[in-house]
Homo-oligomer: A and B are copies of this chain.
Amino acid sequence: MPTYDIAILITGDELLSGEISDSNTQTIAGILATQGYRLRCSLAVPDQEKEIVAALQYLIGHVQFIIVTGGLGLTGDDRTARAAARTLGQPLVVNDEALEMVHQWFVRHHRQMDPSSERQALLPQWAQPLPNPIGTAPGFRLQHDHCELFFLPGVPTEMRAMFQQSVLPVLQQKITGATPLQQRTFKIFGLSEPKIDRMIPYRKLPDGVEVAFALDYPLVLVKLKARGDDAEWRLDQAEALLLNDLGDAVMARDGETPEGNVGKLLISAGLTLSLAESCTGGLLSAMLTSQPGASAFLERAGITYADSAKMDWLKVPTLLLQQFGAVSENCARAMASGLRQATGTDLSLAITGIAGPDGGTEEKPVGTVFIALASAAGVHVQRYTFSGSRGQIQQMSATMALEWLRRFARQSIE
Protein backbone atom coordinates (compact mmCIF):
# COMPACT_ATOMS: atom_id res chain seq x y z
CA MET A 1 0.00 0.00 0.00
CA PRO A 2 1.58 3.32 -0.98
CA THR A 3 1.89 5.87 1.76
CA TYR A 4 0.40 8.78 -0.17
CA ASP A 5 -3.31 9.28 0.30
CA ILE A 6 -5.57 11.07 -2.12
CA ALA A 7 -8.98 12.65 -1.50
CA ILE A 8 -11.62 13.99 -3.87
CA LEU A 9 -13.75 17.02 -3.05
CA ILE A 10 -16.79 17.54 -5.26
CA THR A 11 -18.61 20.86 -5.03
CA GLY A 12 -22.10 21.51 -6.34
CA ASP A 13 -25.57 22.17 -4.97
CA GLU A 14 -27.16 19.93 -7.60
CA LEU A 15 -25.33 16.88 -6.16
CA LEU A 16 -26.79 17.46 -2.72
CA SER A 17 -30.30 18.18 -3.93
CA GLY A 18 -30.52 14.87 -5.79
CA GLU A 19 -30.72 16.45 -9.23
CA ILE A 20 -27.67 14.77 -10.62
CA SER A 21 -25.47 11.96 -9.48
CA ASP A 22 -21.73 12.43 -9.21
CA SER A 23 -19.78 10.68 -11.95
CA ASN A 24 -16.45 12.45 -11.41
CA THR A 25 -15.59 10.38 -8.35
CA GLN A 26 -15.96 7.17 -10.32
CA THR A 27 -13.85 8.53 -13.20
CA ILE A 28 -10.99 9.66 -10.97
CA ALA A 29 -11.25 6.61 -8.69
CA GLY A 30 -11.03 4.24 -11.65
CA ILE A 31 -7.88 5.90 -13.00
CA LEU A 32 -6.26 6.02 -9.55
CA ALA A 33 -7.07 2.35 -8.85
CA THR A 34 -5.35 1.08 -11.95
CA GLN A 35 -2.27 3.09 -10.96
CA GLY A 36 -2.30 1.55 -7.50
CA TYR A 37 -2.92 4.87 -5.76
CA ARG A 38 -5.08 4.96 -2.70
CA LEU A 39 -8.21 7.06 -2.71
CA ARG A 40 -8.89 7.79 0.93
CA CYS A 41 -12.29 9.43 0.62
CA SER A 42 -14.65 11.36 -1.60
CA LEU A 43 -16.53 14.28 -0.11
CA ALA A 44 -19.36 16.25 -1.72
CA VAL A 45 -20.40 19.68 -0.40
CA PRO A 46 -22.69 22.46 -1.63
CA ASP A 47 -21.45 25.49 -3.62
CA GLN A 48 -21.00 27.55 -0.47
CA GLU A 49 -17.74 29.19 0.41
CA LYS A 50 -18.06 28.26 4.09
CA GLU A 51 -18.68 24.59 3.30
CA ILE A 52 -15.83 24.38 0.80
CA VAL A 53 -13.45 26.02 3.29
CA ALA A 54 -14.49 23.58 6.05
CA ALA A 55 -14.03 20.60 3.76
CA LEU A 56 -10.61 21.78 2.54
CA GLN A 57 -9.43 22.36 6.11
CA TYR A 58 -10.52 18.85 7.09
CA LEU A 59 -8.89 17.19 4.08
CA ILE A 60 -5.62 19.17 4.28
CA GLY A 61 -5.01 17.63 7.68
CA HIS A 62 -5.68 14.09 6.49
CA VAL A 63 -4.25 13.47 3.01
CA GLN A 64 -1.35 14.42 0.77
CA PHE A 65 -3.24 15.11 -2.46
CA ILE A 66 -6.65 16.75 -2.87
CA ILE A 67 -8.49 16.86 -6.18
CA VAL A 68 -11.30 19.42 -6.16
CA THR A 69 -13.87 19.52 -8.96
CA GLY A 70 -16.58 22.06 -9.66
CA GLY A 71 -17.24 25.72 -9.01
CA LEU A 72 -14.79 27.28 -11.49
CA GLY A 73 -17.36 28.61 -13.94
CA LEU A 74 -18.82 32.04 -14.41
CA THR A 75 -22.15 31.89 -12.64
CA GLY A 76 -22.75 33.20 -9.16
CA ASP A 77 -22.58 29.76 -7.61
CA ASP A 78 -18.95 29.22 -8.62
CA ARG A 79 -17.05 29.92 -5.45
CA THR A 80 -14.20 27.48 -5.37
CA ALA A 81 -11.29 29.86 -6.10
CA ARG A 82 -12.47 32.24 -3.39
CA ALA A 83 -12.80 29.38 -0.88
CA ALA A 84 -9.32 28.09 -1.76
CA ALA A 85 -7.82 31.55 -1.31
CA ARG A 86 -9.48 31.93 2.08
CA THR A 87 -8.45 28.46 3.26
CA LEU A 88 -4.81 29.04 2.37
CA GLY A 89 -4.71 32.68 3.50
CA GLN A 90 -3.84 34.04 0.07
CA PRO A 91 -5.42 37.04 -1.66
CA LEU A 92 -7.42 36.49 -4.84
CA VAL A 93 -5.61 38.16 -7.75
CA VAL A 94 -5.88 38.22 -11.54
CA ASN A 95 -3.46 35.57 -12.75
CA ASP A 96 -1.89 36.75 -16.01
CA GLU A 97 -1.13 33.26 -17.25
CA ALA A 98 -4.72 32.17 -16.56
CA LEU A 99 -6.08 35.30 -18.24
CA GLU A 100 -4.06 34.46 -21.34
CA MET A 101 -5.55 30.93 -21.31
CA VAL A 102 -9.09 32.33 -21.19
CA HIS A 103 -8.19 34.81 -23.93
CA GLN A 104 -6.74 32.05 -26.12
CA TRP A 105 -9.94 30.01 -25.80
CA PHE A 106 -11.90 32.88 -27.40
CA VAL A 107 -9.24 33.30 -30.10
CA ARG A 108 -9.37 29.56 -30.91
CA HIS A 109 -13.17 29.68 -31.10
CA HIS A 110 -13.21 32.91 -33.15
CA ARG A 111 -15.32 34.64 -30.56
CA GLN A 112 -15.15 38.01 -28.84
CA MET A 113 -14.05 37.66 -25.23
CA ASP A 114 -16.77 38.62 -22.82
CA PRO A 115 -15.36 40.98 -20.12
CA SER A 116 -17.04 38.88 -17.42
CA SER A 117 -14.93 35.91 -18.53
CA GLU A 118 -11.94 37.61 -16.94
CA ARG A 119 -13.31 36.49 -13.61
CA GLN A 120 -12.16 32.98 -14.46
CA ALA A 121 -8.58 34.22 -14.12
CA LEU A 122 -9.12 35.40 -10.53
CA LEU A 123 -7.07 32.85 -8.60
CA PRO A 124 -5.34 32.57 -5.20
CA GLN A 125 -2.04 34.48 -5.35
CA TRP A 126 0.31 31.50 -5.52
CA ALA A 127 -1.85 29.32 -7.75
CA GLN A 128 -0.32 27.74 -10.83
CA PRO A 129 -2.97 27.72 -13.58
CA LEU A 130 -3.73 24.46 -15.39
CA PRO A 131 -4.84 24.63 -19.05
CA ASN A 132 -8.36 23.51 -19.98
CA PRO A 133 -8.21 21.87 -23.43
CA ILE A 134 -12.01 21.99 -23.84
CA GLY A 135 -13.76 24.80 -21.97
CA THR A 136 -12.91 28.36 -20.92
CA ALA A 137 -12.25 27.92 -17.19
CA PRO A 138 -8.59 27.17 -16.34
CA GLY A 139 -7.92 24.88 -13.40
CA PHE A 140 -5.17 25.56 -10.87
CA ARG A 141 -2.71 23.91 -8.54
CA LEU A 142 -1.70 24.97 -5.04
CA GLN A 143 0.69 23.75 -2.39
CA HIS A 144 0.01 24.02 1.32
CA ASP A 145 2.33 22.56 3.93
CA HIS A 146 2.78 19.00 2.72
CA CYS A 147 -0.45 18.90 0.79
CA GLU A 148 -0.83 19.36 -2.96
CA LEU A 149 -4.21 20.65 -4.20
CA PHE A 150 -5.60 20.48 -7.73
CA PHE A 151 -8.71 22.41 -8.75
CA LEU A 152 -10.57 21.27 -11.87
CA PRO A 153 -13.92 22.21 -13.47
CA GLY A 154 -16.91 19.99 -12.67
CA VAL A 155 -17.94 19.34 -16.30
CA PRO A 156 -17.05 15.63 -16.69
CA THR A 157 -15.35 15.86 -20.11
CA GLU A 158 -13.22 18.86 -19.06
CA MET A 159 -12.45 17.31 -15.68
CA ARG A 160 -11.31 14.02 -17.23
CA ALA A 161 -9.08 15.67 -19.85
CA MET A 162 -7.43 17.98 -17.31
CA PHE A 163 -6.96 15.18 -14.79
CA GLN A 164 -5.12 13.10 -17.38
CA GLN A 165 -3.11 16.04 -18.68
CA SER A 166 -2.19 17.97 -15.54
CA VAL A 167 -2.83 15.88 -12.43
CA LEU A 168 -1.87 12.30 -13.22
CA PRO A 169 1.69 13.15 -14.37
CA VAL A 170 2.31 15.00 -11.09
CA LEU A 171 1.02 12.06 -9.06
CA GLN A 172 3.15 9.65 -11.07
CA GLN A 173 6.21 11.78 -10.42
CA LYS A 174 5.58 12.26 -6.70
CA ILE A 175 4.16 8.90 -5.67
CA THR A 176 6.80 6.23 -5.83
CA GLY A 177 6.47 2.62 -4.86
CA ALA A 178 2.79 2.33 -5.83
CA THR A 179 1.91 -1.11 -7.03
CA PRO A 180 -0.84 -1.07 -9.63
CA LEU A 181 -3.92 -3.07 -8.74
CA GLN A 182 -4.72 -6.05 -10.92
CA GLN A 183 -8.29 -7.20 -10.87
CA ARG A 184 -10.48 -9.91 -12.37
CA THR A 185 -14.26 -9.98 -12.22
CA PHE A 186 -16.43 -13.09 -12.56
CA LYS A 187 -20.16 -12.60 -13.23
CA ILE A 188 -22.02 -15.49 -11.66
CA PHE A 189 -25.63 -16.53 -12.19
CA GLY A 190 -27.78 -18.92 -10.22
CA LEU A 191 -25.90 -18.92 -6.90
CA SER A 192 -26.48 -16.59 -3.96
CA GLU A 193 -23.68 -14.51 -2.44
CA PRO A 194 -23.49 -16.61 0.79
CA LYS A 195 -23.43 -19.80 -1.24
CA ILE A 196 -20.62 -18.52 -3.46
CA ASP A 197 -18.80 -17.28 -0.36
CA ARG A 198 -18.82 -20.81 1.06
CA MET A 199 -17.51 -22.23 -2.22
CA ILE A 200 -14.46 -19.98 -2.34
CA PRO A 201 -11.35 -21.83 -1.06
CA TYR A 202 -10.15 -18.84 0.97
CA ARG A 203 -7.42 -20.82 2.75
CA LYS A 204 -5.85 -22.01 -0.46
CA LEU A 205 -5.75 -18.58 -2.11
CA PRO A 206 -2.25 -17.14 -2.60
CA ASP A 207 -1.22 -14.41 -0.15
CA GLY A 208 -2.39 -10.94 -0.96
CA VAL A 209 -5.27 -11.99 -3.18
CA GLU A 210 -8.45 -10.30 -2.00
CA VAL A 211 -11.99 -11.39 -2.80
CA ALA A 212 -14.82 -8.87 -3.07
CA PHE A 213 -18.49 -9.19 -3.96
CA ALA A 214 -20.90 -6.92 -5.79
CA LEU A 215 -24.43 -7.33 -7.12
CA ASP A 216 -25.61 -6.59 -10.64
CA TYR A 217 -29.09 -8.16 -10.53
CA PRO A 218 -29.53 -11.00 -11.24
CA LEU A 219 -25.77 -11.57 -11.34
CA VAL A 220 -23.36 -11.77 -8.41
CA LEU A 221 -19.94 -10.33 -9.23
CA VAL A 222 -16.91 -11.91 -7.60
CA LYS A 223 -13.71 -9.93 -7.88
CA LEU A 224 -10.18 -11.13 -7.29
CA LYS A 225 -7.66 -8.38 -6.59
CA ALA A 226 -3.91 -8.37 -6.15
CA ARG A 227 -1.03 -5.93 -6.24
CA GLY A 228 2.67 -6.21 -6.78
CA ASP A 229 5.10 -7.64 -9.29
CA ASP A 230 3.75 -11.18 -9.31
CA ALA A 231 0.09 -10.11 -9.08
CA GLU A 232 -0.72 -11.67 -12.45
CA TRP A 233 0.78 -14.97 -11.37
CA ARG A 234 -1.09 -14.99 -8.05
CA LEU A 235 -4.34 -14.08 -9.78
CA ASP A 236 -3.82 -16.96 -12.20
CA GLN A 237 -3.51 -19.32 -9.22
CA ALA A 238 -6.54 -17.83 -7.48
CA GLU A 239 -8.60 -17.90 -10.65
CA ALA A 240 -7.82 -21.57 -11.23
CA LEU A 241 -8.92 -22.40 -7.67
CA LEU A 242 -12.07 -20.30 -7.99
CA LEU A 243 -13.08 -21.68 -11.36
CA ASN A 244 -12.51 -25.22 -10.19
CA ASP A 245 -15.76 -25.08 -8.25
CA LEU A 246 -17.51 -22.04 -9.70
CA GLY A 247 -16.40 -22.13 -13.33
CA ASP A 248 -19.66 -23.53 -14.56
CA ALA A 249 -21.67 -20.70 -13.07
CA VAL A 250 -19.57 -17.87 -14.57
CA MET A 251 -21.62 -16.30 -17.36
CA ALA A 252 -19.16 -13.52 -18.18
CA ARG A 253 -15.99 -11.90 -16.88
CA ASP A 254 -14.51 -8.39 -16.68
CA GLY A 255 -16.02 -6.21 -19.42
CA GLU A 256 -18.11 -8.98 -20.95
CA THR A 257 -21.90 -9.35 -20.67
CA PRO A 258 -23.87 -12.62 -20.50
CA GLU A 259 -25.79 -11.66 -23.66
CA GLY A 260 -22.59 -10.76 -25.50
CA ASN A 261 -21.00 -14.08 -24.58
CA VAL A 262 -24.08 -16.08 -25.51
CA GLY A 263 -24.11 -14.37 -28.90
CA LYS A 264 -20.45 -15.22 -29.48
CA LEU A 265 -20.97 -18.82 -28.34
CA LEU A 266 -23.92 -19.28 -30.70
CA ILE A 267 -21.86 -17.90 -33.58
CA SER A 268 -18.88 -20.17 -32.70
CA ALA A 269 -21.20 -23.14 -32.47
CA GLY A 270 -22.77 -22.20 -35.79
CA LEU A 271 -26.24 -22.29 -34.23
CA THR A 272 -29.15 -20.19 -35.43
CA LEU A 273 -31.83 -19.08 -32.98
CA SER A 274 -35.43 -17.97 -32.91
CA LEU A 275 -37.26 -16.73 -29.83
CA ALA A 276 -40.84 -16.71 -28.62
CA GLU A 277 -41.27 -14.36 -25.68
CA SER A 278 -44.44 -13.77 -23.77
CA CYS A 279 -43.95 -12.48 -20.21
CA THR A 280 -40.52 -11.04 -20.98
CA GLY A 281 -42.07 -8.95 -23.74
CA GLY A 282 -38.97 -8.61 -25.91
CA LEU A 283 -36.41 -8.14 -23.15
CA LEU A 284 -34.37 -11.22 -24.12
CA SER A 285 -34.42 -10.20 -27.75
CA ALA A 286 -33.44 -6.62 -26.87
CA MET A 287 -30.54 -7.90 -24.72
CA LEU A 288 -29.20 -10.12 -27.50
CA THR A 289 -29.59 -7.43 -30.17
CA SER A 290 -27.98 -4.71 -28.04
CA GLN A 291 -24.75 -6.40 -29.20
CA PRO A 292 -23.51 -5.68 -32.73
CA GLY A 293 -23.62 -8.70 -35.03
CA ALA A 294 -26.73 -10.34 -33.54
CA SER A 295 -28.11 -10.87 -37.02
CA ALA A 296 -25.44 -13.58 -37.49
CA PHE A 297 -27.40 -15.96 -35.25
CA LEU A 298 -30.80 -14.44 -34.43
CA GLU A 299 -33.27 -15.24 -37.18
CA ARG A 300 -36.34 -13.75 -35.53
CA ALA A 301 -38.22 -13.30 -32.26
CA GLY A 302 -41.95 -13.28 -31.70
CA ILE A 303 -43.43 -11.40 -28.77
CA THR A 304 -46.66 -13.35 -28.77
CA TYR A 305 -48.81 -11.70 -26.14
CA ALA A 306 -52.21 -12.63 -27.54
CA ASP A 307 -53.37 -16.22 -27.97
CA SER A 308 -54.02 -15.44 -31.64
CA ALA A 309 -50.32 -14.61 -32.06
CA LYS A 310 -49.31 -17.88 -30.43
CA MET A 311 -51.62 -19.81 -32.76
CA ASP A 312 -50.72 -17.90 -35.89
CA TRP A 313 -46.93 -17.41 -35.60
CA LEU A 314 -46.04 -20.34 -33.32
CA LYS A 315 -48.69 -22.84 -34.47
CA VAL A 316 -49.83 -23.48 -30.90
CA PRO A 317 -53.06 -25.53 -31.19
CA THR A 318 -56.23 -23.72 -30.06
CA LEU A 319 -57.31 -26.75 -28.05
CA LEU A 320 -54.03 -26.80 -26.14
CA LEU A 321 -54.44 -23.13 -25.16
CA GLN A 322 -58.03 -23.78 -24.09
CA GLN A 323 -57.13 -26.87 -22.09
CA PHE A 324 -53.89 -25.81 -20.38
CA GLY A 325 -53.74 -22.02 -20.72
CA ALA A 326 -50.96 -19.87 -22.17
CA VAL A 327 -48.86 -20.16 -19.01
CA SER A 328 -48.28 -23.90 -18.93
CA GLU A 329 -45.66 -26.51 -19.63
CA ASN A 330 -47.64 -27.69 -22.63
CA CYS A 331 -47.91 -24.23 -24.10
CA ALA A 332 -44.19 -23.49 -23.61
CA ARG A 333 -43.35 -26.76 -25.32
CA ALA A 334 -45.73 -26.07 -28.19
CA MET A 335 -44.40 -22.51 -28.62
CA ALA A 336 -40.79 -23.69 -28.91
CA SER A 337 -41.47 -26.64 -31.18
CA GLY A 338 -43.97 -24.73 -33.34
CA LEU A 339 -41.52 -21.88 -33.81
CA ARG A 340 -38.71 -24.26 -34.71
CA GLN A 341 -40.87 -25.97 -37.29
CA ALA A 342 -41.91 -22.64 -38.76
CA THR A 343 -38.43 -21.13 -38.89
CA GLY A 344 -36.07 -24.05 -39.34
CA THR A 345 -33.58 -22.54 -36.89
CA ASP A 346 -31.30 -24.88 -34.95
CA LEU A 347 -32.71 -23.64 -31.67
CA SER A 348 -36.06 -22.16 -30.70
CA LEU A 349 -36.51 -20.87 -27.19
CA ALA A 350 -39.86 -19.96 -25.64
CA ILE A 351 -40.70 -18.12 -22.43
CA THR A 352 -44.22 -17.88 -21.04
CA GLY A 353 -45.14 -16.82 -17.52
CA ILE A 354 -46.75 -14.33 -15.18
CA ALA A 355 -44.52 -11.29 -14.56
CA GLY A 356 -47.15 -9.57 -12.42
CA PRO A 357 -48.01 -7.60 -10.48
CA ASP A 358 -51.47 -8.99 -11.38
CA GLY A 359 -52.62 -12.17 -13.08
CA GLY A 360 -51.41 -14.71 -10.53
CA THR A 361 -53.54 -17.57 -9.22
CA GLU A 362 -53.06 -19.98 -6.35
CA GLU A 363 -51.88 -22.68 -8.69
CA LYS A 364 -49.78 -20.33 -10.82
CA PRO A 365 -48.67 -17.41 -8.66
CA VAL A 366 -46.94 -14.30 -10.01
CA GLY A 367 -43.40 -15.35 -10.91
CA THR A 368 -44.42 -18.68 -12.45
CA VAL A 369 -42.40 -18.96 -15.64
CA PHE A 370 -41.94 -21.81 -18.13
CA ILE A 371 -38.90 -21.94 -20.39
CA ALA A 372 -38.74 -24.37 -23.31
CA LEU A 373 -35.87 -25.05 -25.71
CA ALA A 374 -36.45 -26.95 -28.93
CA SER A 375 -33.49 -28.44 -30.79
CA ALA A 376 -32.81 -31.43 -32.99
CA ALA A 377 -32.61 -33.42 -29.74
CA GLY A 378 -36.22 -32.61 -28.85
CA VAL A 379 -37.87 -30.10 -26.54
CA HIS A 380 -36.81 -29.50 -22.96
CA VAL A 381 -39.18 -27.56 -20.66
CA GLN A 382 -38.84 -26.39 -17.07
CA ARG A 383 -41.04 -24.53 -14.63
CA TYR A 384 -39.61 -21.81 -12.37
CA THR A 385 -41.03 -19.69 -9.59
CA PHE A 386 -39.19 -16.39 -9.49
CA SER A 387 -39.76 -13.66 -6.92
CA GLY A 388 -39.45 -9.87 -7.00
CA SER A 389 -40.97 -7.01 -8.94
CA ARG A 390 -42.31 -7.29 -12.49
CA GLY A 391 -38.99 -5.96 -13.77
CA GLN A 392 -36.98 -8.42 -11.68
CA ILE A 393 -39.08 -11.39 -12.78
CA GLN A 394 -38.62 -10.35 -16.42
CA GLN A 395 -34.87 -9.85 -15.88
CA MET A 396 -34.50 -13.19 -14.09
CA SER A 397 -36.48 -15.04 -16.79
CA ALA A 398 -34.42 -13.53 -19.61
CA THR A 399 -31.13 -14.29 -17.86
CA MET A 400 -32.21 -17.86 -17.12
CA ALA A 401 -33.02 -18.26 -20.83
CA LEU A 402 -29.56 -16.92 -21.70
CA GLU A 403 -28.11 -19.49 -19.31
CA TRP A 404 -29.96 -22.28 -21.16
CA LEU A 405 -28.58 -21.05 -24.47
CA ARG A 406 -25.07 -20.78 -23.01
CA ARG A 407 -25.13 -24.36 -21.76
CA PHE A 408 -26.52 -25.70 -25.01
CA ALA A 409 -23.98 -23.83 -27.15
CA ARG A 410 -21.06 -24.87 -24.92
CA GLN A 411 -22.06 -28.52 -25.07
CA SER A 412 -22.38 -28.46 -28.81
CA ILE A 413 -18.90 -26.89 -29.16
CA GLU A 414 -17.26 -29.49 -26.87
Cβ contacts A175-210/B at 8 Å (1 or 0 each): 000000100000000000110010000000000000
From A12, which residue of chain B is reached at the shortest CB distance? B214
A239 an interface residue at 8 Å Cβ cutoff? no
Q: Which stretch from A94-102, A124-132, A277-285, A369-377 is at the chain B interface?
A: A277-285
A41 touches B20 (CB 8 A): no
- Shortest CB distance A262–B (Å): 14
* Contact yes or no, A75 B197, CB < 8 A: yes
Check B299 against A306 for contact (C-beta < 8 Å).
yes
Q: Which residues of B contact A81 (CB under 8 A)?
A: none
CB-CB under 8 A from A45, the residues of chain B are 40-41
**Cβ contact within 8 Å between B19 and A214:** yes
> CA separation between A13 and B31, bound complex, in Å?
15
Indicate if the CB atoms of B30 and A18 lie closer than 8 Å: yes
Q: Which of A284-308 contact B (CB under 8 A)?
A: 284-286, 288-290, 292-295, 298-306, 308
> Could you tell me the distance in whole angstroms from the C-beta of A246 to the nearest C-beta in chain B?
15
Q: How big is the A interface, by class?
A: 35 or more
Is A171 close to B, CB under 8 A?
no
Asked if B18 and A31 make an inter-chain contact with CB atoms under 8 angstroms apart, the answer reads yes
What 7 pairs across the A-B complex have the smallest Cβ distances? A281-B289, A18-B30, A282-B285, A282-B282, A300-B309, A18-B29, A301-B303
Provide 21 A-B residue pairs closer than 8 Å at the C-beta atoms, listed in order of the A residue. Answer: A16-B29, A16-B33, A18-B26, A18-B27, A39-B46, A54-B62, A73-B213, A77-B212, A277-B282, A281-B286, A281-B294, A281-B298, A282-B282, A282-B303, A283-B290, A290-B394, A295-B305, A298-B303, A298-B305, A300-B303, A312-B343
Give A residues with C-beta under 8 Å from B. 13-23, 25-33, 39-46, 51, 54-55, 58, 62, 73-77, 109, 114, 116-117, 155, 181, 193-194, 197, 211-215, 223, 275, 277, 280-286, 288-290, 292-295, 298-306, 308-309, 312-313, 342-343, 356-358, 387, 390-391, 394
